[in-house]
Each structure stands twice: as structure tokens, then as C-alpha cells.
A and B are shown apart, each in its own frame.
Chain A
Amino acid sequence: MEAATVRAAAPPAWRANLATIAALMARAKNELIRVPGAAIPGVLAPTIFFLGLNGVFGALTQLQGFETGSYESFIVPVSMLQGAGFTGAAAGVNLARDYEQGWVDRLLVSPAPRWVLLAGTVLAASLRSLVPATFVLGIAFAIGAQWPGLDGLIICYLMVAVTAAAAACWGSMLALRFKSQSAAPLMQAGMMALILLTPAYAPLALLQPWLEKVAEINPLTNVLEAARQGFVGGVTWADTWPGLLALAGLLAVLGALALREMRRTNV
């Protein structure tokens, strides 16, 4: 009778899972509020890249074949995605630190499923990525970037948030494999390479042949083109769906790999 009462009082599994994810996200948010300095590099680095690249390579718009006369409009989605990449990598570094300090061990002995633990980390990174993206976008508008339209802006933010989730899966996978913050450069360099080996600096047709070939097979190219479309022209479904598909694929693959590492990790 007593056992039946306890069973009846227990919340359904989906609600407990949601509560765990919310708690993990709240922990990440608390970290952001309590240690604001920790978020500064993630915000500063893409901003410096944005202003620096704009100042250095701005004259490239004079080249024939450049689709816009405003380099700041062309480059701002790259910097927003870079911010997402850095934020995702930072989630991996934080997970590695949590492992080193024993916090992950405590999570692993809890009754929460592994995918719930991963989802908390990934969704928190996804939300955090909106901070550097908004900061860079504000600077871009201040120096004359084109308004992408509401639809262009929503698509751009969606691409940023999901890219951060994919980057967090990548970072988490490495964190759980190496179990050390020393893997941080690998987390950062991997995402940086994926984001920059695209038509980041110039349109596909103006890239060097080797980079053009790499960019054509890099899934992030579709993501960048989708995020950029509103800034350099109109928003179309034809430019949007390849980005969505690429991100869904990346998230599925990297999510599965991160989950596999999470399941392999023992206390």
C-alpha cells in the first residue's frame, strides 16, 4: 500500500527529465551571472574578429563578383557563428573542468538518463550563444550593416543557436574522451576551422580553388549562406533549407557521438 502511494507520488519521467535539463541550464546561467568575466572572451573574440576583418579586408567588396558593397553586412554572420562556435567549445571546456572537479561523477550516479545530462549542457550553450551574437550584431548595425529583415534575423539567430548546440556536442564529446581541460585548443580549433573553411571572407566564386572545393563539401557553408542571406539580399526558402538540413545532420552526428562518450563514461 505504502509502495503504491510512493509510486503514485513520483512525477512522470518526462517531467523529471525536463526539470533536470532546466536545473542544468539554470546552473549554466548562474555561472554567467556570477562570473561575468568568464563570458567576456567569448564575446570579445568574435567582436574583435568582426571589426578587424572589416577593417583589413573591407576593400574586397571592390572585386567583381562580390554580392554586396557592404563588407560589414557580409562578414557579420561569420562573426555571429564564430561566437556560437566559441560558446559551444566553452561548454566542452566547462564540462571537462566539471569532470576534473568531480561534479560529472555526481551527475553520473544520479538517476537522470545520460541524454538528459547532455541536453542540459547543449541547450545551455545554445542559449548562451545569443549573447555574443547580439553583441556583435549591435556593433555591426552601429557601423552600418544592412538590416536583414525580421525573417532574415530570425533565420540568422536560429542558425547561431543550433550551431552552438552542435559545437557544444563536439566540445562535450572531446571533454568526455580526454577528461581534461587540456583538450580545449582542439575544441576551439575544430569549430574555428569548420566555420572559416567556408565562403567566410569572400563569395565561393572568389575563393582559391582548393578552398572553394573544401567549402562546397563543408556543411557549415550552407549554414553560413542561410544566416547571411538577409544581410546581402532577400530571404528565400532555397537558401534556407540547405542550412537547416546541414545543421540537423551535424547535430544528429555530433549529438550521437557525444552521447556515446557520455554512455561510455563511468564513475
Chain B
Amino acid sequence: MSDLATTARVVRALGARSIRQTFRRPQLISPIVVFPTLLLAVQTGGAGAGVELPGFPPVQSFLQFMLAGAMMQSMMLAGNSGGIAFAVDIEMGFTDRLFAAPIPRFAIVLGRLAGTAALGLFAAIWFFAIGIVFGAEIEGGVPGMLLATALVTASALAVGGIGAAIALRTGSASVVQGLFPLVLVVLFLSSAFFPQELMIEPAKTIAEYNPLSFIVEGVREPIISGIDATQTLEAVAAILGIVVLGLVLSARALRHRLRVG
């Protein structure tokens, strides 16, 4: 078997393990599914009248507008949960056993990221299903859904890279878990939940430059109006930026982990 095929097998096995691990532990799956779904319901029901505000983009319903935000929240928390599970593996010595195995070290990180990306894919499908069941129209049709799903999956991979880097660097599940509030801050300071033009300062200005806002708009556009090349490219550029950051941080953290053991 070629090296590439072996690596792909390792990545697939570790990715499948991380997905099973997430679905078996309520504390890992609930932030990805339960909390974003609950918040989607509450925010749609509670702030739905916001679509009547002057300046709100034309949408069929607030649920349609909010779907992208819920996907982003779920995707960010999937990255965080992936980091926590990775840190638990380090704490319990499982990663040490993998380091001793005759497999490339980067495959260990890639396996975890593959699992996180799969959870991002699951989040996109879950929220599309909820949206369609509760009457949200997807203006971009099937191609729009596929594009949005691909963007959510890719951004889960990107954010997972940062979670994995922190897990590798600290080797502590509680430290990674402590980043949960930061995830909320990044979300609130983006256009995930409301149009950026209608937000209150300083959140409005921060949201304008927050990379997550570009990703959210890239995911939202196919849902509320149709595929837009500019916003898609901006979202892809933001995801690539986070991927590069995650890879650099992960590579450095991996070297650190191998050095300190």
C-alpha cells in the first residue's frame, strides 16, 4: 500500500473515531446541536420582528436570515469540541501512543480535523433540515445549499485547526473548554445574528472587519437571495486565512508537543 493510501486510511480511521466520540458524549454533542438549535428557536421567535426595521435586508423570514448564524455557531462550537476531545486524548496518553505508531504525525491532526469537518457538514445539513421543515425558502436552490454546506464544512475544518493547535500547545482540556466564552464573543461581534448595519457600536465596527462576518455572509447569501460571486470569494478568502493560521499554529504546537512529550 502506498504512503498516501496509508495516510488516508489513518486520517479516515481517526476522523471516524472523533465523530463517534462526539456523538457518544453528551457534553461534546450538545454544544453543537442542542444550544445552537435552542438559540435559533429563541432568537427567531424573540427578535423576529426585527425584519420590520428600516435597513433590514429583504428576507422571506427571520428564520431564513438566521440559518447561516446558527450554522456558524454550531461550526465554531464543533471546532471547540474537537479541540476539547483532542486535549482529552493528550491528557489520557492516547496521542502519545499515536506518536509512537509508524504513521505521519500530521495525519494525527488531520484525522481530528476530518472529524471536525464532518461535524460541520452535519451542522449544515441539520440546520437546512430545520429551516426547510419550518418553512424557510432557500433562494439559491440546490446549488445554493451545496455551496453553503461546503463553506460551513470548510470553515469547521479551519476553526478546528485553531482548536487543535491550542489543544496540542496546552495539552489541557479545561484550557480549551475555557475558550467557549471566546467563541461566543467572536460570534456576537460578527453579523451572524443581525445585519451589521443595524448593530450597535462598537459591535458594528468590529463586525465589519471580523473574518467570521465574511464567512457568514457567504453562507447567508445563497439562502436569502442566491449565489453571489463576490461574497462567495470573500468567504473563501476568509476561510483560507483561518486555515493558514490554523496550520501554522498546529505545526508549531505539534513540534512543541513532540519536544515536551
Q: Is the CB of A60 within 8 A of B50?
A: yes
Q: Is the CB of B46 within 8 A of A202?
A: yes
Q: Is the CB of A48 within 8 A of B47?
A: no
Residue A164 lies at the interface, judged by CB distance under 8 Å to chain B: no
Q: Is the CB of B30 within 8 A of A58?
A: no
Q: Is the CB of B194 within 8 A of A196?
A: no
Residues of chain B contacted by A41 (CB below 8 angstroms): 178, 180-181
Interface residues of A in 140-196 (CB under 8 A from B): 181-186, 189, 192-193, 196
The B interface is mostly helix, strand or loop, or mixed, namely helix
Choose from A59, A63, A185 the contact partner of B200 (Cβ within 8 Å).
A59
Flag the segment in A205-213, A226-234, A242-250 that touches B: A205-213
Q: Is the CB of B181 within 8 A of A55?
A: no
CB-nearest residue of chain A to B62: A208
For chain B, the count of residues having a C-beta within 8 Å of the partner chain is: 37
Residues of chain B contacted by A186 (CB below 8 angstroms): 26, 30
Q: Is the CB of B53 within 8 A of A59?
A: yes
Minimal beta-carbon separation of A64 from chain B (angstroms)? 9
Listed residue (B38, B48, B187, B193) with the most chain A CB atoms within 10 angstroms of its CB:
B48
Bound CA span A45–B177, Å? 13
Interface bracket on A: 35 or more
Residue A49 lies at the interface, judged by CB distance under 8 Å to chain B: yes
Bound CA span A44–B183, Å? 12
Indicate whether A196 sits within 8 Å of B184 (C-beta atoms), given known contacts A59-B199, A62-B53.
Answer: no
Residue A54 lies at the interface, judged by CB distance under 8 Å to chain B: yes
Interface residues of B in 14-70 (CB under 8 A from A): 25-27, 30-31, 34-35, 38-39, 41-50, 52-53
Indicate whether A189 sits within 8 Å of B178 (C-beta atoms), given known contacts A52-B188, A56-B203, A196-B46.
Answer: no
A–B complex contacts, Cβ < 8 Å, 8 sampled: A48-B181, A56-B194, A59-B199, A60-B47, A60-B49, A192-B38, A197-B42, A207-B48
The 6 A-B residue pairs with the shortest CB-CB distance, nearest first, are A52-B188, A55-B203, A211-B45, A201-B46, A185-B30, A58-B200
